[in-house]
Chain A
């Protein structure tokens, strides 16, 4: 229990979009789904990765000189990383004068992470602020997360888990007791579409959601927010929203406090480039405000309480 460490991508303080109040969000590395629209592509892989930031590079080639594996070369476009050759020794990252090379994924002990993320406790007190554990898929590291949550609850800190739902049921059991709010994604209601796009069927996702709601019914003070990313030509159809709305209406509405439709944004292309990947959605347009309103209306028309549905995010100008 004590020696466990978690692989953490990022700690975001004064986060305002991951639950109530002011929150410190912890992004865990590694995901169980592979959604092609992912806004945090560096969170998918469960191991460390190296990225190079052009704007920070001073061109000194310190990294190239240090690399024992010839994994780094200077090209016309800057430093190129041969990910086959790189063994992630991180020597280059420890010495890069400009912090142009960054490792994605850092190990934290439960105690150190706890100490770091409660620094903003004073700001959590009003409006139900606290800690959100997100990812990637946070529940892949359920044992670590469970220990962290236990400590946070002892300090009386509001806790939220942001999950894609594609996890072992036992993971939910491990974190259930010390979590105040679940942010649970339903991306696509059609099983085939879900499989096609995310790489996995949504059966387990929906089963887990029903299981979670069953447990919530026996426990007070747990909250559930459903989140649906609205992605152009992928999840943004009226039918998809109608289908999710029906599922919610029939199964979980009484236990759901809020359903957020989160509009696609296009700011993450540079992240794909840094990982030497191509983003399928690079040229996709933002969703229009009208369409977001329409989707909200579709949800309400299926009988979802209008005070529970909202949309967030950036829409086309």
Chain B
């Protein structure tokens, strides 16, 4: 049998070369490593750490990053009036100058798309006064950095106004080009009163006009480069390719694209400049419904006679460029948190108006390219499914999941997702902007975070809150269970009355009273994260405009407001609830142990948690095994889980940012926090020890999912709101998390072994459209997990292996048979 590692296939010589070249990494002569640029003033700052406050792995490097970018920064020659301009104009002008006149304009061998280097760290363009004011608020004793660290160290989670996580209005640029955008800005400015022209709105529009010229000027540079390379090129066909690239750059992105090739060139350059503008490679800067808005260009080119093979070559180059985002820190070995996984996401397929399926030829072309190119990290596909997704699409999706040992894409589920967007419309008074006539055009950013397109910034990863913290505070009357000790200094903080006083053992003599204490503490932790967010949000709004990105987000030009100041028509921010299942299971365990079975008092339970369960093993086992758990499709338990969900989600909607008037909305994405924060948070009442993982997003806790994938999915659907004829938001679907919720299920590959089984898996996916959540990541049971389970059977006691018609608990079947199952998994020969 073949090896289980999926290999790329069917690649043209060119695409194979580019793909191989990319994976050479540091051995490449060309790369896209960060380039830093400064105004040359002594107070200049390039690295704006606020964008990295949501990546705890980066905390240890903030100071190093700041100084290393500063040391390496090249001075940019600026006009004498530079500091006389407004801050947004300085920002726009600095970036324009860097991209057009400083960053090398390289064309990689064989490449068909221009736009190589975009990983830049540019001066924030501050005057001395601005820099001082900003620095005090960031680095000061009670500044943003200190507040952020306290919040994280005490187990609340993290928060920071960060970059990306947005879908720009690429469709507008493809259709009309930046010329149209520039002209509109000029009109807006011309119609301003004299007062506005001289005021903040005028400054913003002028900055955006500078930014709008940047793509044109950059295209000219690349065009000249192509012509020069063509001149020296001996190979006739490569010479012609370079000349065709030059011809494309004459048109786009300044003008609208007229064919598929121009459209991809335009899309790439427009997109890469967002990453340049934000100084952040690929953080959920997503493409939206790419198979929809590119379709007219595809059809045009097909009728012009362009072959699918050539289109696949163009797309192969596009894939190459997306991946070079990872080069940012290639020189220092890369992974300092930010390079752990980007998310230049695009959606395929999905519903259109009147519930019509929008799958088209281009959808399948993209799926082919994904299949040919994978495994590769970027761009990230997300396939939208719904009740009436065509069988052919489902077949392709299932085949690709099987051949890639886990899906090479995420799956989004339209009905539940759209219900969430419509709920958002009601809760945030956005019904004019999100309604039945356009909700189907929603798309996902990053991984699965649902937003509208081209006019929506919803801060989908800006606030990550450990819901479990409220249980901890309720158990200990508003104080941490364990005092925090700083690893560097060894200094231990005193326990403080951080949360409200909600009572102790004697006061909380019924579970209802305990639950009320939890509700109070939840209010407190949400207020706490809202306040922390305000610190970075207001700093960004005041000091870090992104005028180029603002060009591409509708609402900014009309209001004369930068996107960082709440300029988007839909300008929300999201609290991602982390540790949901751990929270629900802990509350259920408290109810079971303390109030229903009276196995211990609340005080005794608190002692057990402070002791990390050591010496309390019987109680721990009862908490783990006997207390009810979310994720088992038990109606009573799931109803309680829903109550917990509604409580925090409703509390989230209450808040708005002060500085930018963005309403908070709820979602569930845990990125990798559920792993790292497991070492920070004290033991929890569900039996978890400190240092063990928390639960991931909306998934049941590890090991509690004993009734299989359908039961797990039903629980997820129910806690999002299930279905209701009366209160349905889209048809009878209800979804209280407009952002969506990350759900991962691991399947045994034996489930997908032959045609009959693939049909069964399709049936599962169709069932999920009815009963499940908004998004699903499918993993196939892998050999490493089985080996882990063999080593640590107690952690995997519920791991079921399904071997054709027979299910067995892996942990209980004896080493020899375990070895055999592992061997079969390696050979994929069930």
Contact B766 A125 (CB under 8 A): yes
B708, A13: Cβ atoms closer than 8 Å: yes
Q: Does A1 contact B (CB under 8 A)?
A: no
Of all chain A residues, the one with the shortest Cβ separation from B802 is: A16
Q: Nearest chain B CB to A57's CB is how many angstroms away?
A: 10
Whether a CB of chain A sits under 8 angstroms from the CB of B75 is: no
Q: Among B58-66, B562-570, B658-666, B812-820, which stretch is in contact with chain A?
A: B812-820
Given contacts A55-B811, A314-B830, contact A127 B711 (CB under 8 A): no
B621 touches A60 (CB 8 A): yes
- Interface check B78, CB cutoff 8 A: no
Report the nearest A residue to B747, measured CB to CB.
Answer: A14
Q: With A and B bound together, what is the CA distance between A314 and B821 in angstroms?
A: 10
Question: In the complex, what's the smallest C-beta–C-beta distance from B357 to chain A, in angstroms?
Answer: 16
Which interface residue of B617, B619, B823 has the most chain A CB atoms within 10 A? B617
CB distance from B438 to the nearest CB of A (A): 28
B184 at interface by CB-CB < 8 Å: no
Q: Which of chain B's residues 768-823 have a Cβ closer than 8 Å to chain A?
A: 768, 770-771, 793-794, 797, 802-809, 811-814, 817, 820, 823
Alpha-carbon distance A161/B431, docked complex (angstroms): 52
Q: Which residues of B contact A265 (CB under 8 A)?
A: 803-806
Stretch of A210-218, A236-244, A267-275 lying at the B interface: A267-275
Expressed in whole angstroms, the Cα–Cα distance for A120 and B759 within the complex equals: 16
A119 partner residues in chain B, CB cutoff 8 A: 633, 710-711, 714
Question: Quick check: is B622 within 8 A (CB to CB) of the other chain?
Answer: yes
Distance between B767 CB and nearest chain A CB, rounded to angstroms:
3
Q: Closest CB of chain B to A225's CB: distance in Å? A: 13
B764 within 8 A of A: yes
- Residues on A with C-beta less than 8 A from B827 are 317
- Which residues does chain B contribute within 8 Å of A124, judged by CB atoms? 763, 767
CA distance A18 to B802 in the complex (A): 13
Tell me if A55 and B793 are in contact (CB < 8 A).
yes
- Number of residues on chain B facing chain A (CB within 8 A): 48
A12 — which chain B residues lie within 8 A by C-beta? Answer: 708, 807
The residues of B that contact A129 with a CB separation of less than 8 Å are 760, 763
CB contacts (< 8 Å) of A317 on chain B: these are 820, 823-824, 827, 829
A39 CB–B CB distance under 8 Å: yes
- A267:B803 contact, CB within 8 angstroms: yes
B780 to chain A, nearest CB (A): 15
A62 within 8 A of B: yes
Q: Once bound together, how far apart are the Cα atoms of A15 and B548, in whole Å? A: 53
Contact A39 B767 (CB under 8 A): no
Q: A14 vs B760: C-alpha distance in the bound complex, in angstroms? A: 9
Assess whether A97 is interfacial by the CB under 8 Å rule.
Answer: yes
A residues near B751, Cβ cutoff 8 Å: 16
For residue A54, which residues in chain B have a CB less than 8 angstroms away from its CB?
812
Which residues of chain A are within 8 angstroms of B617 by Cβ–Cβ distance?
Answer: 58, 60
Residue of A nearest to B805 (CB): A17
Tell me if B110 is interfacial: C-beta within 8 Å of chain A: no
Nearest chain A residue, comparing its CB with the CB of B796: A55
Most buried by A among B709, B763, B829: B763
B488: Cβ under 8 A from any A Cβ: no
Residue contact B618 to A60, C-beta cutoff 8 Å:
yes
CB neighbours (8 Å) of A58 from chain B are: 617-618, 621
A13 to B626, CA, bound (A): 21
Q: Given the complex of chains A and B, what is the CA–CA distance between A172 and B652 in angstroms?
A: 58
Bound-complex Cα distance A39 to B824 (A): 20
The answer to the question of A299 belonging to the interface, with a C-beta cut-off of 8 Å to chain B, is no
Contacts of B707 in A (CB 8 A): 13
B757 close to A (CB within 8 Å): yes
Q: Is A99 an interface residue (CB 8 A)?
A: yes
Contacts between the two chains (Cβ within 8 Å), count: 124
- Asked if residues B757 and A14 are in contact (CB atoms below 8 Å), the reply is no
User: Cβ of A53 and Cβ of B767 under 8 Å apart?
Assistant: no
Known: A53-B812, A55-B812, A127-B759. A97 touches B807 (CB 8 A): no
Looking at chain A, what size class is its interface with the partner chain? 35 or more
Cβ B757 vs Cβ A270 within 8 A: no
Asked if residues A22 and B814 are in contact (CB atoms below 8 Å), the reply is no
Does the CB pair A13–B813 fall under 8 Å? no
Shortest CB-to-CB span from A8 to chain B, Å, is 15
Flag whether A123 is at the interface (Cβ < 8 A).
Answer: yes
B604-632 near A? 1/0 per residue, CB < 8 Å: 00000000000001110110011000000
Task: Tell me the interface secondary structure of chain A in the complex.
Answer: loop
Candidates B714, B766, B824; contact of A120 at CB < 8 Å: B714
Q: Which residues of B contact A99 (CB under 8 A)?
A: 625-626
Residues in A neighbouring B528, C-beta threshold 8 A: none
Which of A13, A16, A53, A97 lies in contact with B757, CB distance below 8 A?
A16
Point out the residue from B618, B771, B797, B811 that lies within 8 Å of A122, measured CB to CB: B771
Q: Is the CB of B804 within 8 A of A97?
A: no
Contacts of B692 in A (CB 8 A): none
Assuming A22-B767, A60-B621, is B808 touching A267 (CB within 8 A)?
A: yes
**Most central of B709, B768, B806, B813 by chain A CB within 10 Å:** B806
Alpha-carbon distance A62/B830, docked complex (angstroms) = 41
Interface string of B343-370 (1 = CB under 8 A from A): 0000000000000000000000000000
Q: Tell me if B172 is interfacial: C-beta within 8 Å of chain A.
A: no
Q: Does A73 contact B (CB under 8 A)?
A: no
Known: A14-B710, A120-B710. A262 touches B805 (CB 8 A): yes
- Binary flags per residue of A88-120, CB closer than 8 Å to B gives 1, else 0: 000000000111000000000000000000011
In the assembled complex, how far is the CB of residue A216 from the closest CB belonging to chain B, in whole angstroms? 23
A126 and B766 form a contact (CB under 8 A):
yes
Q: Which residue of B lies closest to A129 (CB)?
A: B763
Q: Which residues of A contact B763 (CB under 8 A)?
A: 21-22, 123-127, 129
A22 to B809, CA, bound (A): 20
Q: State whether the Cβ of A288 lies closer than 8 Å to any Cβ in chain B.
A: no
- CB-contact partner of A123 in B621, B771, B797, under 8 A: B771
CB distance from A75 to the nearest CB of B (A): 18
Q: How far is the CA of A201 from the CA of B619 in the complex (A)?
A: 53
From residue 208 to 267 of chain A, which have CB atoms closer than 8 A to chain B? 262-263, 265-267
- Assess whether B767 is in contact with A122, with CB atoms less than 8 Å apart: yes
CB distance from B31 to the nearest CB of A (A): 45
Q: How far is the CB of B762 from chain A (nearest CB, A)?
A: 6
A257 CB, nearest partner CB in chain B, Å: 13
A267–B812 CA distance with the chains assembled, in angstroms? 10
Which residue from A17, A123, A125 sits with its C-beta under 8 Å from B804? A17
CB distance from B525 to the nearest CB of A (A): 31
Q: Which residues of A contact B794 (CB under 8 A)?
A: 55
Q: How many Å lie between the Cα of A127 and that of B761 in the bound state?
A: 10
A56 at the binding interface (Cβ < 8 Å): yes
CA distance A96 to B350 in the complex (A): 49
Shortest C-beta distance, A125 to chain B (Å), equals: 7
12 contacts between A and B (CB under 8 A): A13-B711, A14-B710, A22-B763, A58-B617, A97-B622, A119-B714, A123-B710, A123-B767, A125-B767, A126-B763, A266-B817, A267-B817
Which 3 A-B pairs rank lowest in CB-CB distance, beginning with the nearest? Answer: A123-B767, A17-B805, A97-B621
